[in-house]
Amino acid sequence: MTRLRASARPVAVPLLLLLPFLLLLLLFSIAPTVWLLINSFMLDGAWSFGNFVEIVRSPFYRQAFSNTLWVSIASSVLGLAVGLITAASLKRVGGTLRDMVVSFTNMAANLTGVPLAFAFMIVMGTNGAVTLILREMGWLNGFDLYSQSGLILIYTYFQIPLALLLLYPAFDALQDDWQESAALLGASTFAYWRWVGLPVILPAILGTFILLLANALGAYASAYALMTSNYNLVTIRIASLVAGDISLEPNLAAALSLLLIVALVLVAMVNHFLMKKSYHAR
């Protein structure tokens, strides 16, 4: 029976078993991406950088990119802040409450996209209950859900559960007696976090931030559900160029898509680099 050892495994049948996977991957992942790559450099049937030139020259598309970046960064920072504060406290409360909060957050992570936007429209729309309460208290200052700040609020909401779920395991690396030792040596809570706590969990924080950023850059459903095509985001522009009612320009959409992919790949590479670094630090 030794002939069946690892070195002598026959490979013809196993290779055949990979075929369905390769076929599906080719049809639904590789082919559309290759199509994008080719057609973003095509203008009127010839090779050209024209699509990219048009995007760079157009204030409208430049605004789409700056809006996307701003909404993504703002919502990632806010989500990260809430996630961090909660994760730090979660370590200090009892195990039962902790498990409860983690499963609760898992559930909350399911409320995204169209349903999330609708929930916000009901709660914080023009006549929503929270809007009314806040207006009564005079805290609203002209907040409008159907605006950039409203969009940031909704994005932040789908970032928070993700941030907490990604961050709270990192806090396990902090040993309980470190803070006590620091306090015995005369360190304030701030000094402890500045010199001990933060440096230990920094790679996890950066890694989480990058994932949140990538998540927001490619997001489309909640923005579309809230404002249809009335807010200028890259994903919204891409969609309306291929499925809109006015003019269809798939090649321009391909160029916009390629730029978005480049941004996402950059983000992924930074993440990869940070993970490697944190691994070596250990």
Partner 1 sequence: MHAKRYHQWVVYGFIALLAVPALATLLYSLSRQWGATILPEGLTLDWYIKLLHDTRFLVAFGHSLLIAVGTLLLATVVMVPTTFVVAYYFPTLDRWMNIVILMQFAVPPVVSSVGLLQLYADGPLPMVGTPWVLLGCYFTIALPFLYRALATALQGIGMNDLMDAAHLLGASTFRAFMYVILPNIRKALMAALFLSFSLLLGEFVFANMLVGGRYETLNVFLYSIRATSGHYTSAIVMGYFIFTLCVTWVATRLSR
Q: Residues near 180 by Cβ (< 8 Å), separated by ≥ 6?
A: none
Place of tokens 């440096």: 199
Question: Looking at beta carbons only, is 27 or 281 nearer to partner 1?
Answer: 27
Q: Does 178 bind partner 1 (CB under 8 A)?
A: no
CB of 173 to partner 1, least distance (A): 18
Binding partner 1 by CB under 8 A: which of 48, 54, 69, 113?
A: 113
Question: What whole-number distance in Å separates Cα of residue 68 and Cα of residue 233?
Answer: 5
Residue in 26, 57, 33 with CA at minimum distance from that of residue 261: 33
Residue 47, SS3?
strand
Binding partner 1 by CB under 8 A: which of 58, 63, 66, 106?
A: 106
Stretch of residues binding partner 1 (CB under 8 A), selected from 23-31, 44-52, 58-66, 142-150: 23-31
Stretch of residues binding partner 1 (CB under 8 A), selected from 47-55, 73-81, 156-164, 196-204: 156-164
Q: Does 220 bind partner 1 (CB under 8 A)?
A: yes
Q: Does 160 bind partner 1 (CB under 8 A)?
A: yes
Kindly report the length of the chain: 282
To the nearest 10 degrees (0 to 180), the angle between helices 250-281 and 59-90 is 30
Residue 231, SS3?
coil
Q: Does 159 bind partner 1 (CB under 8 A)?
A: no
Residue 134, SS3?
helix
CB of 172 to partner 1, least distance (A): 16
**Triad 94, 99, 103: Cα angle to 5°:** 150
Question: What whole-number distance in Å separates Cα of residue 172 and Cα of residue 243?
Answer: 47
Residues numbered 36 to 55 that lie near partner 1 (CB under 8 A) are 36, 39
CB of 282 to partner 1, least distance (A): 20
Binding partner 1 by CB under 8 A: which of 161, 197, 203, 207?
A: 161
Binding track over 65-94 against partner 1, x by CB under 8 A: -----------------x--xx-xxx-xx-
